[in-house]
Structure 1
């Protein structure tokens, strides 16, 4: 009984010390800043409006983080929530918590077809699913202007990538986070990753849904926004 009581007291003391440590560091931050334990520093709430792009081969979770060149890693826009889920990296990117970055998700090499094609003395391109596609942002298949006459597969929308080149990518706007409900490059739908105060979001049947808000925010009554406390 005495041992149980001693352990309870010890746990309370640890919690109190941690709380005091966090509060003490928060006091060193400005009123428009918050203390981030990840890099033990003060960060501006909301982050910059136009943060610098991450270096090649690196990415940041678009919903909740941005690239901070001085620290060489991704940092949160707002205080992380209590027991936060892993931040959402773009498709085909994986979050590495030890270095606070999104890196390309390793993919196993695709073995060549077992039967050579009789065309062009090489392998049949159709066996590799290469129908004139390239790969756009997030791993989505992108077609050039020369092949625009070919429609996207059923269920996907052709969203322009650049008005200058005429390239476009085939997206499922019913689930696509950055073009939820329509092609944002055409002024339609919504970019769920830009919901202020959001930590984890989703696109369900063409409508943005907030799963988790950052610290200092709570999910709004509509379930699609984060409201500042």
Structure 2
């Protein structure tokens, strides 16, 4: 007959309790409500679809992936609106920005070094042998820049290079616009969204990575809890 000493009873109770404690701690860290999901990189529960009120803009010099993230004031980084896709790519930043997984935010992409300026050819009849004007006869005009002001909309659009559309910039003074290639522009795909045309691909619900292909939005990857539609244009909740 085996005797159970008080010491052995305490040992057995401790052994049984250990898995229960571990299980409770694990579940407690992921005890999110029905309207939340657990974000492992941030170590907290986040609201599904993002906050009900508009989140604050990211700090200067920082950006968030417009399709899938917003700035988390409490977390101090960009947080996802939906769970991250399993083994998915990095979230998609705006043009000119790159995702930094360490700080979980978009940072300005390194600017490649510009080639050295070419030496202008010499022409007879000009001082020092150089021409004072640009080749196209203009004085410092630059067609690639944003925010061109002009009171006549038709004239401002005509100033864009061939193949680009002049889209008004809604958040600046009237008359300013930017020249966009609406066949590839994510936020004005197929037309200027500021004029009620085209589509903002970054606004597709549940999208993680998107593109604008010949003026049509294309979803490449959906967030966790979504799947790509058969036409590849939207994400369908599971």
Give the TM-score, by structure 1 length. Answer: 0.77
Show CA shifts across 1:176-205 (max 9, x none): 110011100001000000000111111111
User: How has the CA–CA distance of structure 1 residues 41 and 191 changed in structure 2, closer, same or farther, with 3 Å as cutoff?
Assistant: same
Q: Identify which range, 217-226 or 22-31, moves more after superposition.
A: 22-31
Contact 1:209 1:224 survives alignment (8 Å): yes
Hey, what does 1:8 align to over in structure 2?
none
1:143 is aligned to 2:148? yes
| Pairwise CA RMSD | 2.7
Hey, what does 2:209 align to over in structure 1?
200
Kindly tell me the number of residue pairs found equivalent between the two proteins: 199
1:179 is aligned to 2:155? no
User: How has the CA–CA distance of structure 1 residues 25 and 194 changed in structure 2, closer, same or farther, with 3 Å as cutoff?
Assistant: farther
Show CA shifts across 1:132-157 (max 9, x none): 45744xxxxx4222782752111111
Task: Return the offset for 1:60.
Answer: 0.4
Pairing of 1:1-229 with structure 2 (within 5 A): 24=27, 27-48=30-51, 50-110=54-114, 113-115=117-119, 118-119=131-132, 131-133=141-143, 135-136=145-146, 142-145=147-150, 148=156, 150-162=158-170, 164-229=173-238
Give the TM-score, by structure 2 length. Answer: 0.74
Contact 1:134 1:143 survives alignment (8 Å): no
> Following the alignment from structure 1 to structure 2, what is the Cα–Cα distance between the partners of residues 39 and 96?
14
